[in-house]
Amino acid sequence: MSYTKKRYFTYLFITIFTLLIPFITINGNHILLLSFDKLQFHILGFVYNVSELYLMPFLLMFLFIGIFTITSILGRIWCGWACPQTIFRTIYRDLIEGNILDLRRVKNKQKDIDYSKNSNKLKKYISIFLWIIISLMIATNFMWYFVPPEDFFMYILDPLNHSFMIIFIISTAMFLVFDIIFMKENSCVYICPYSRIQSSLYDNDTKQIVYDTSRGGNVFVNNEKSIFKMKEWKANEECTTCEACVKICPTNIDIRKGLQVECINCLECSDACTTVMGKLGKKSLINWGSTNTIINKKVSKIFTKRNITYFTSLILCLVLTGVFASKKEYFLLNVNKTTKLYNIKENAKVSNNYILTFHNTQKRVYTYNLALEDSKNFKIKRFKAFKLNPGKRAKKVLIIETKKRLYLSDKKDTPLKIKLIAYAKEDKKIKLEKELAFIYPRNDLLKN
């Protein structure tokens, strides 16, 4: 099977997977969702609230280090095989313009379309219309990663109250139309920063598109072509100068010139060369491999010092993400002390007042209660367990009292640290610990 067919199957898999992810849930939670509406982040069925987004830095570091690692080993495989820009351009250029409307030859991506013919003009308008429809579908699918489908289809029925969502979808679709139809591969060549950093991540062990000069000969010398006519061939130079690899290149480069930032590793040039050389009973002169394997005839190494550093960093990111993820908060609790520092009652009883705000972030009703770690010196004077519905908030008054003499100074008040434990009666794992400041009055106030 050619690389082109393999890429098309990969594109199909990625497209279906991307469309289905927003609809996949585990225990009612999404596989991947960043909800600005509910201030939640869903990943693999786990839900983290905005106060728990300390996970994001580690996930982002994992993403960027992962890109560096993949590039160091497999080159720009992301660009040619998974990048949305490449997939969308393939859909528009090869499927719509090429196969459906027959506007261009799929095997010659560099030849401009002749719009002098009225039939071609009409087909061009049809292709733009089709891409606008597809762009709206893509933008809607993208929105589902921020607004889940179950909410989206409700919001879409009330567009006036959800105008930002509508504007976001339309704006994204307009950008896709401009990018795919008018910017074309120029986005990859001139705008995408990835192509600019790839050369710093490559070495002789990195898999890339390599033209085998040992077989085909040096087509370029000092950046100028040295082979033009068949009579100039040397006996050991197999390149036929058919230019098939150049015509099919979506970014308009000649891979025989060597590594170039415009190359996206789509491997269409390799397929073109395979077809031509196959007719001569020979193997392709353009292959996906490292400089060491193809040019230097050496074995490529994956575990180089740089790659080992990348692997170590990735493992560290995963470990830190797991550690922090294990400290997930199943509900939110905010504690505020009242303006009055303390109350002094008979028999030197001292109490402090607090305002608690509970937020049930789960999808079921829970009964919340409180306990003190130091139950010998302190006790809860006022608080009753209560039920809280999913997604709701509630404010409660907490009064903590002590009969013990705990002052440490005769001249100033003493702040004491006590640990408050909030928990749900229905599930022992749903609990939080908060450290409170209990203000104890100075000695003369107690005497008076």
Of 188, 193, 346, the C-alpha closest to 252 is 188
The two tokens of residue 257 are 């010139």
How high is the pLDDT of residue 329? 73
Whether this prediction's pTM lies above 0.85 is answered by no
Of residues 142 and 220, the one with the higher pLDDT is 142
Percent of the chain with pLDDT over 70: 91
CB of 2 within 8 A of CB of 271?
yes
How high is the pLDDT of residue 377? 86
- Residue linked to tokens 């608080």: 383
Q: What is the mean pLDDT of residues 127-133?
A: 94
Residue 95 CA to residue 239 CA, distance in Å, equals 30
How high is the pLDDT of residue 85? 92
pLDDT tens digit string along 339-373? 888 888 877 788 999 999 998 888 789 999 999 98
pLDDT tens digit string along 297-343? 888 888 888 889 999 999 998 888 877 777 667 788 889 888 888 88
Asked whether the predicted pLDDT for residue 149 surpasses 70, the reply is yes
Asked whether the predicted pLDDT for residue 41 surpasses 90, the reply is no
- One-letter amino acid identity for 436? L
Asked whether the predicted pLDDT for residue 176 surpasses 90, the reply is yes
E strands within 178-309?
208-211, 220-221, 224-225, 286-289
Of residues 410 and 440, the one with the higher pLDDT is 440
- C-alpha gyration radius of the chain: 33
pLDDT tens digit string along 246-298? 888 888 888 888 888 888 888 999 999 999 999 989 999 999 888 888 888 88
Domains of the chain, each with CATH number or no CATH: 3-199 (no CATH), 204-294 (no CATH), 331-447 (2.60.40.10)
Residue 106 CA to residue 183 CA, distance in Å, equals 19
Mean pLDDT value across the chain? 85
CB of 267 within 8 A of CB of 245?
no
pLDDT tens digit string along 54-108? 777 888 888 888 888 888 888 888 888 999 999 999 999 889 988 888 887 766 6
How high is the pLDDT of residue 224? 66
Structure confidence at residue 115 as a pLDDT band (50, 70, 90): low
SS3 readout for the chain: CCHHHHHHHHHHHHHHHHHHHHHCEECCEECEEEECCCCEEEECCEEEEHHHHHHHHHHHHHHHHHHHHHHHHHCCHHHHHCCHHHHHHHHHHHHHHHHHCCCCCCCCCCCCCCCCCHHHHHHHHHHHHHHHHHHHHHHHHHHCCCCCHHHHHHHCCCHHHHHHHHHHHHHHHHHHHHHHHHHCCHHHHHHCCHHHHHHHHCCCCCCEEEECHHHHCCCEECCEECCCCHHHCCCCCCCCCCCHHHHCCCCCCCHHHCCCCCCCCCCHHHHHHHHHHHHCCCCCCEEEECHHHHCCCCCCCCCCHHHHHHHHHHHHHHHHHHHHHCCCCCEEEEEEECCCCCEECHHHCEEEEEEEEEEECCCCCEEEEEEECCCCCCEEEECCCEEECCCCEEEEEEEEEECCCCCCCCCCCEEEEEEEEEEECCEEEEEEEEEEEEEECCHHHHHC
How high is the pLDDT of residue 276? 92
How high is the pLDDT of residue 306? 86
Asked whether the predicted pLDDT for residue 132 surpasses 90, the reply is yes
